[in-house]
Structure 1
Amino acid sequence: MTTNYMSNYTYGTNAYDEIPEVAKPYGIKKVVFIGGKRALAAAEPKARKALEGSGIEVTGSFVYGVDSTQTNIDRLVATPEVKEADAVFGFGGGKALDTAKMVADELDEVIFSFPTICSNCAAGTAIAVIYHDDGSFDRYGFPKAAKHLFIDTDVIAKAPVEYFWAGIGDALSKQPEVTHVSKGEDLTNTGALGVAIAKTVSEPLFKYGEQGMDDVKNDTPSKAVEEIALDILVSTGYASNLTNQKDFYYNSWHAHAFYNSTTAIKREGTYLHGQIVSFGVLVLFAYFHEEEEFKKYQEFNKRIGLPVTLGELGLSQDDVEEITKGAMETNEYRNRPFDPEKFSEAIRRADELGKQLLEK
């Protein structure tokens, strides 16, 4: 027997007003807030106001940490106010929401997601990225997806634009990774549906991405912001859940193998998940010699400031061997092996073509 859990969602500038009505069927009496420091500052007051008069008590509010580590998960699981709650309200971006999902899963509590940024699709996915305490990639966790997403587009529009930007970068990977890794497979209904949804993800990014970034810079919850947020949080999230199953995994491939490997390379600077993944997408196209798609995504990256070279990620071609070695240890490689020499060459080629583009 297979059960697929897909999050329902509410979106708009007054999305939090629906919290009591959505929570009612679950019989929730006590909730705990877990999130990022800035996320809680931005969204907690609105959520508390929405709960006034609902009969739902907030047992506490906790900053998750700075990384979704097992250490942070264990700390929160052991916290009395967290254990006392019937449900977890997770606020923030990928790492905060992945932590909240894992905590809820370990305590067998209901989880609701409140994405305050759309830096990736973590709000609605049944997968979590777990890191070691030193920040390097550890493993994937597989918690239940959130019961409901509350997507407040006003909160997202007023968040720092770099997270919106990185979310576009991460979402750019969904369509090419899913379609490539599933190619030639005998797809079940679930897999075919996931692949079909994945094929709808890239176009809204090209259509609304630049305008959406301008609107976030101006704190404006516009149609472009809404379309990008829904594309990242809902479409990409649904595709992820449907392509991440017990019997198959089509959710990620070269771009995320590249990202996961680079987390172990010490270098100056801070680089967001989607920022790195967006270059990994170029590596995928270079690997398969898909020149037209490579150029389309590369030029879009350049237009919105996403990386087209290793140097923009604090890396160089001297790191390629280490990146490739690390990629061979990833879930992506174990699920569907690819040629290490071709992968190394694809990284170098993507970098060289990026340098040529920047010189124009």
Structure 2
Amino acid sequence: MNKIMISPSRYVQGADAIADLGKHVAPLGTKALVLGGKRGLGAIENLLSASLKEQQMDYTIEYFGGECSRPEIDRIVSVIKQNNLNIIIGVGGGKALDTAKAAAYTAKIPVAIVPTIATTDAPCSALSVIYTPEGVFDSYLVLPKNPDLVLVDTAIIAQAPARLFVSGMGDALATWFEADACAKAFAGNLPGGLSTAAALCLAKLCYDILMEYGFRAKLALEQGVATEAVEKVVEANTLLSGLGFESSGLAAAHAVHNGFTVLEETHQAYHGEKVSFGTLVQLVLENRTTAEIEKVLSFCKSVGLPITLKQIGISEVTPDKIRKVAEATCAPGETIYNQPFSVNATSVYAAILAADAIGRAYLKQD
């Protein structure tokens, strides 16, 4: 199997970068569909409009329906065709951006991505996570290429709720551990090859940045400012995690997240928050050292990421609930089979309960 690494065509990051959006988008198309939620678009609509008008670009605004589902993707494609649009600009969080990528792929037009929160690694990836209209995980849609442009304005990111930023760190936290598992298992990555040394280094750099700057970045975000620590963690959450996961692969942490979506009480937890707990489950499955696990626990506690089932919404833990999660985690085709050892619902069930016990014990140490 060949080694393959993929990435966005262009990545732009910095305070007030939105002012240059029109300049970067203009070579890609002339009539844009701007897709985003009301909150995400509301945060940047005036700046976005001014930048596009400066380049004399026509655009139509369409509000995102709330779930990256097949009906929502089809609806957006219909809007594109009805208005003869030739580029889509996705604005907002992970689900809106995944919908924009999937709709662009279906309509065969370029896509530019403008995240307003650094909450997932969705912006850079050639992947859309598809859910049912009710919010239950459905499938992964692997796209033939990454976004044509990813533009991240860190001044805008700094105005978003800190919890969203922290959730992005939870998603990024899994990157190195999943990449490491896939490399040990010689598992295929998202573009269908093996990981390059460069992709593994980016995944490890993502982890190192979180450990060094994550807590300081969170404190800065709580004050609504973008320090150099914030810049580094935004890059880790967005670019390094995105490149690391898709060019190295996913493993147990994200599969456990997908398993948790079968429990409605976890829907109030963000993607990265559930992935964070999934990372702890993966470390238990791998029987990592106490030092490695405690380093992750310490980091999660410092920034406010969940390390117990209760913290992701499961206040009443029952065997039946956890078995359902374990079985969904081990569904055919799930990424948990990229672990370098045999896994099944029984071992995942045990690891979830053990991870919860470890998290609860750690919190009691204070």
Fold-level match, TM-score > 0.5?
A: yes
Instruction: Evaluate the alpha carbon distance shift between residue 168 and residue 80 of structure 1 in structure 2; reply closer, same or farther with a 3 A threshold.
Output: closer
Whole-angstrom CA distance in 1 between matches of 2:360 and 2:194: 42
Whole-angstrom CA distance in 1 between matches of 2:46 and 2:82: 19
TM-score norm. by structure 2 comes to 0.90
Q: Is the 8 A contact 1:177 1:252 kept in 2?
A: yes
Whole-angstrom CA distance in 2 between matches of 1:83 and 1:234: 32
Amino acid at match of 2:55: S
1:331 paired with 2:334, answer yes
Give a deviation string over 1:35-74, Cα, whole Å, max 9, x none.
Answer: 121110001211111122312111x111111111111111
Amino acid at match of 2:294: K
Number of equivalences: 351
How high is the sequence identity, in percent, across the aligned residues?
Answer: 28
Aligned partner of 1:247 in structure 2 is: none
Choose from 280, 283, 297 the match for 1:282. 280
Instruction: Evaluate the alpha carbon distance shift between residue 38 and residue 11 of structure 1 in structure 2; reply closer, same or farther with a 3 A threshold.
Output: same
1:78 paired with 2:81, answer no
Provide the alpha-carbon RMSD of the alignment: 2.1
1:120 paired with 2:120, answer yes
Instruction: Evaluate the alpha carbon distance shift between residue 210 and residue 54 of structure 1 in structure 2; reply closer, same or farther with a 3 A threshold.
Output: same
Instruction: Evaluate the alpha carbon distance shift between residue 317 and residue 232 of structure 1 in structure 2; reply closer, same or farther with a 3 A threshold.
Output: same
Whole-angstrom CA distance in 1 between matches of 2:265 and 2:25: 44
Q: Is the 8 A contact 2:330 2:344 kept in 1?
A: no
Instruction: Evaluate the alpha carbon distance shift between residue 275 and residue 3 of structure 1 in structure 2; reply closer, same or farther with a 3 A threshold.
Output: closer
Whole-angstrom CA distance in 2 between matches of 1:9 and 1:352: 41
Whole-angstrom CA distance in 1 between matches of 2:23 and 2:111: 15
SS at match of 1:308: coil
Amino acid at match of 1:126: A
Greater Cα offset, 136-145 or 81-90: 81-90
Q: Is the 8 A contact 1:310 1:317 kept in 2?
A: no
Q: Is the 8 A contact 1:83 1:107 kept in 2?
A: no
TM-score norm. by structure 1 comes to 0.91
1:158 paired with 2:163, answer no
1:36 paired with 2:34, answer no
Gaps in structure 1 of 5+ consecutive residues: 244-250
Return the offset for 1:317.
4.8
Give a deviation string over 1:14-36, Cα, whole Å, max 9, x none.
Answer: 2123223323433x211110012
Aligned partner of 1:111 in structure 2 is: 111
Gaps in structure 2 of 5+ consecutive residues: none
Give a deviation string over 1:266-288, Cα, whole Å, max 9, x none.
Answer: 22761100001101111111111
Aligned partner of 1:215 in structure 2 is: 220
Instruction: Evaluate the alpha carbon distance shift between residue 288 and residue 33 of structure 1 in structure 2; reply closer, same or farther with a 3 A threshold.
Output: same
Give a deviation string over 1:158-197, Cα, whole Å, max 9, x none.
Answer: 0111110100111000000110122042997753332222
Return the offset for 1:230.
0.7
Choose from 229, 233, 245 the match for 1:228. 233
SS at match of 1:338: coil
SS at match of 2:343: coil
Greater Cα offset, 296-305 or 125-134: 296-305
